[in-house]
Amino acid sequence: MTIHSNVIAQVFDATWTQLPKTFSGDSVKNLAEKLNTRKNEFESNADYNARLEKLVTPHDYKYVLFCEEIPFKLDYDADAQEFIFSRKSYNAHIEVAKTSKEGKPYTGTNSFGVSKKIRKIEVHEYNLHDQEWQNDAGQAFKFPYPSIQAAALKSDLAVALIIELAPHRHFGKSYNSMTSPFFTHSTYYSEPTISNPLDYMSHSYIITSNIRNIVLYKKSDRKILLITTPSKTKQSSTSPIQ
């Protein structure tokens, strides 16, 4: 197993029929941290650009696999005897992971002396942005499977994505919030009010990529059932690996 120097990703072997027990893929949270390359105050422009260049030209190091984090919707069509996998999000962003932490509540008082107990919540959302999918383009694929065995298989299925890191087309323009060619971080804050006593902060981390392959496998024995290249149309049919 090779370790990539630019994103420290585990390399997926397309000839595998089963995922090795030691293979977990790369976490989207960890990858976001690696790609957050904002220039610091002690770094010259030349050093910063040199560091970015290593990310912008990753050559054959640019494939990363995410396992068991990908939120795909799964349905079964008994008449057609096939599973239908589709993205839960029908826009260019796919939410891969989300954490929510509730802090210690406190009492807030407005200018009129009215007090309220305030809940404090902080949310972290991790997303993949695929530049090749349009905002209105859903993604789905069909996986033929006999109905007699489908019910037992459904709870055992997992989907992984192989992505290619891709510099965002707007990186470097003054109006965006991108901190590196492949990474955007934005923060939203909502102050508490009397009618809505909630202190809410949300952090959104977005990795810019192109999705190259979808891998369907069984969680129990890690057998790979399907490796397919997603089309950018509404739906595509596939055949299982024997």
**Residues 54-106: tens digit of each pLDDT:** 665 554 455 667 776 666 778 899 999 998 877 655 556 777 778 899 999 99
Contact call for residues 179 and 105 (beta carbons, < 8 A): no
Average pLDDT, the chain: 77
Residues of the domain holding 153: 28-237
- Whether 82 is covered by a domain: the verdict is yes
Total residue count of the chain as it appears in this document: 242
- Whether 146 is covered by a domain: the verdict is yes
- Residue 116 pLDDT > 50: yes
CA angle 95, 33, 167 (to 5 degrees): 70
CA angle 32, 33, 34 (to 5 degrees): 90
Number of structural domains (the chain) is 1
- Whether 172 is covered by a domain: the verdict is yes
Specify the range with the lowest mean pLDDT, choosing from 85-94, 102-111, 187-196: 85-94
The C-alpha atoms of residue 70 and residue 160 are separated, in whole angstroms, by 6
pTM of the model: 0.72
- Residue 148 pLDDT > 70: yes
Percent share of the chain, pLDDT over 70: 73
- Whether 80 is covered by a domain: the verdict is yes
- Residue 233 pLDDT > 70: no
Give SS3 for 17: coil
- Whether 75 is covered by a domain: the verdict is yes
Q: Please tell me the predicted confidence (pLDDT) of residue 15.
A: 86
- Residue 118 pLDDT > 90: yes
Nearest to 216 by CA among 228, 226, 206, 207: 226
- Whether 9 is covered by a domain: the verdict is no
- Whether 18 is covered by a domain: the verdict is no
- Whether 17 is covered by a domain: the verdict is no
Contact call for residues 117 and 107 (beta carbons, < 8 A): yes
Between residues 236 and 121, which one has the greater pLDDT?
A: 121
Cα-based torsion angle of the residue sequence 121, 124, 125, 128 in order, rounded to the nearest 10 degrees: 170
